[in-house]
């Protein structure tokens, strides 16, 4: 009951439950899960495994990607490049790992030399259609049997995405609208992959009709940030508070709350780049809980807890607390069982905080000398993490720091966050997708 009560404190989760009730029962419909915060109500999950034990099946991937798998009613959806630089959407069977269908959505994958490519955004589904976006600007919707319903290219409409490390924001589905965040450098001439016939770029929040892909509104998002600090790889999240439904956007040195119906900016909080450094891009997405919005600044700047209900500039009035000891640069925090879990992937330290006050409950080193870039998953009283080299670390989500197990999966780079659904954990490496479950079953390779 304690877990459920804390999860239901956010209306956004309740609204999602009402609109798509099966999503909470055993699905993982988007990259931060059914509750938009990295958590799941799944139980009976394993707390230890290796590459063979507790692995139900292993499915080879045609290319590496940081996109998290999503799961809906016995189907797993994966966005990925292939060896021919096609950008694909795959559908696999949850129970066997068999590929049910594979569609080429676009072509022209690129790699920036750091392991990032055009397939970084995660798909999202409402159980009717599955939506997939690539860094090329190609956006499409498919039915669950693989039929394309609509397609458009945002680069042709608004200019190619101008992000140094290639575009990485995942779409958001909320209250029957599809939201896409594009926070980018205003001068695309510095990035060869972004050059086209449009000399300047706006940063914007886009709202689409999910059934058709038509634009409902496009709200430009101004910033005083400069050079790379204009850019963000974060994904938008919803928040429903006393003042109504908002879409939270982080990047360009600021956190902003937007009216979910019109896109109008309601409030803005600075403090994400106190040094005014031109290279301070944002990677971590926001997370919400207990009446607060949590946003992480880059490069060892603080994590901010922002009170709801603000209007206008709230930098001086609505920051409840700051976390400066081990803030994240890449890993999005986890809100789970009424606690905020913050993973400093560079220092390999997990910290458990009291959300209302920022008080530290515990902190501990993960025990491996490997950088973490994937965001943590919370489920079944546990926290699941995976390092860039492919070492999975399972922690207790209880009142004290405790490592339950580690598992060397290898197959680096591993940047996709784990997903939990249907009593299983889904782990994507650079080479394979693993399905792990508590009851040992015969291994199946596809």
User: Is the pTM value of this prediction over 0.85?
Assistant: yes
**If you write DSSP's letter for every residue of 351-362 in order, what string do you get?**
EEE-TTT--EEE
Domain that holds residue 163: 2-445
Query: Which DSSP string corresponds to 236-272?
Result: -EEEEETTEEEEEEEETTEEEEEETTT--EEEEE--S
Which token pair is 356?
Answer: 């209302």
Q: What is the pLDDT along the chain (446 residues), one digit of tens a residue?
A: 433 434 333 334 444 433 333 344 589 999 999 999 999 999 999 999 999 899 999 999 999 999 999 999 999 999 999 999 999 999 999 999 999 999 999 999 998 866 789 999 999 999 999 999 999 999 999 999 999 999 999 999 999 999 999 999 999 999 999 999 999 999 999 999 999 999 999 999 999 999 999 999 999 999 999 999 999 999 999 999 888 999 999 999 999 999 999 999 999 999 999 989 999 999 999 999 999 999 999 998 999 999 999 999 999 999 999 999 999 999 999 999 999 999 999 999 999 999 999 999 999 999 999 999 999 999 999 999 999 999 999 999 999 999 999 999 999 999 999 999 999 999 999 999 999 999 755 555 55
Strand order in the sheet with 99-107: 70-72, 75-81, 86-93, 99-107
CB count within 10 Å of CB 103 equals 16
Residue 444: the pLDDT is 54
CATH number of the domain where residue 39 is located: 2.130.10.10
Look at the block and give the residue holding tokens 């397609």. Answer: 151
Q: Which of 339, 328, 338 is nearest to 282 (CA)?
A: 328
Question: What is the predicted pLDDT for the residue at 353?
Answer: 98
Number of domains in the chain: 1
Provide the pLDDT for residue 403: 98
Please write down the HEC assignment for all residues of 288-330: EECCEEEEECCCCCCEEEEECCCCEECCCCCEEEEECCCCCCC
Q: Is the peptide bond before 251 cis (omega within 30 degrees of 0)?
A: no
């Amino acid at each position: 009951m304690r877990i459920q009560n804390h999860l239901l404190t956010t209306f956004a989760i309740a609204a999602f439950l009402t609109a798509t009730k099966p999503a909470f029962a055993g699905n993982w419909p988007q990259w931060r899960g059914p509750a938009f915060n990295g958590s799941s109500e799944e139980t009976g999950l394993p707390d230890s495994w290796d590459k063979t034990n507790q692995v139900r099946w292993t499915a080879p991937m045609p290319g590496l990607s940081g996109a998290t798998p999503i799961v809906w009613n016995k189907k797993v959806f994966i966005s990925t490049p292939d060896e021919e630089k096609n950008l694909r959407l795959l559908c696999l069977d949850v129970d066997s790992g068999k590929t049910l269908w594979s569609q080429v959505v676009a072509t022209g994958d690129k790699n920036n030399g750091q392991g990032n490519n055009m397939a970084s955004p995660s798909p999202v589904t409402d159980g009717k259609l599955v939506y997939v976006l690539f860094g090329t600007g190609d956006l499409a919707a498919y039915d669950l049997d693989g039929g394309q319903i609509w397609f458009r290219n945002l680069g042709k409409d608004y200019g190619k995405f101008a992000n140094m490390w290639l575009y990485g924001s995942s779409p958001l589905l909320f209250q029957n609208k599809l939201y896409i965040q594009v926070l980018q450098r205003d001068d695309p001439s510095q990035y060869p992959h972004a050059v086209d016939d449009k000399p300047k770029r706006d940063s914007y929040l886009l709202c689409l009709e999910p059934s058709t892909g038509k634009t409902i509104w496009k709200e430009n998002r101004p910033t005083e940030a400069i050079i790379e600090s204009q850019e963000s790889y974060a994904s938008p999240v919803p928040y429903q508070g006393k003042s109504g439904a908002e879409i939270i956007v982080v990047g360009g040195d600021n956190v902003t709350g937007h009216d979910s119906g019109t896109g109008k900016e309601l409030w803005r909080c600075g403090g994400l780049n106190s040094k005014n450094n031109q290279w301070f891009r944002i990677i971590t997405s926001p997370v919400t809980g207990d009446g607060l919005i949590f946003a992480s600044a880059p490069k060892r700047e603080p994590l901010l807890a922002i009170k709801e209900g603000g209007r206008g500039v709230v930098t001086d009035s609505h920051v409840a607390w700051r976390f400066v000891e081990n803030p994240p640069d890449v890993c999005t925090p986890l809100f789970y069982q009424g606690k905020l879990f913050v993973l400093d992937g560079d220092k390999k330290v997990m910290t458990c905080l009291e959300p209302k006050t920022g008080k530290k409950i515990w902190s501990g080193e993960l025990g491996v000398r490997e950088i973490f870039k994937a965001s943590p998953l919370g489920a079944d009283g546990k926290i699941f993490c995976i390092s860039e080299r492919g070492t999975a670390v399972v922690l207790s989500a209880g009142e004290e720091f405790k490592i339950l197990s580690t598992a060397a999966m290898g197959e680096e780079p591993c940047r996709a966050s784990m997903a939990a659904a249907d009593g299983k954990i889904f782990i994507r490496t650079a080479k394979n997708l693993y399905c792990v479950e508590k009851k040992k079953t015969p291994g199946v390779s596809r």
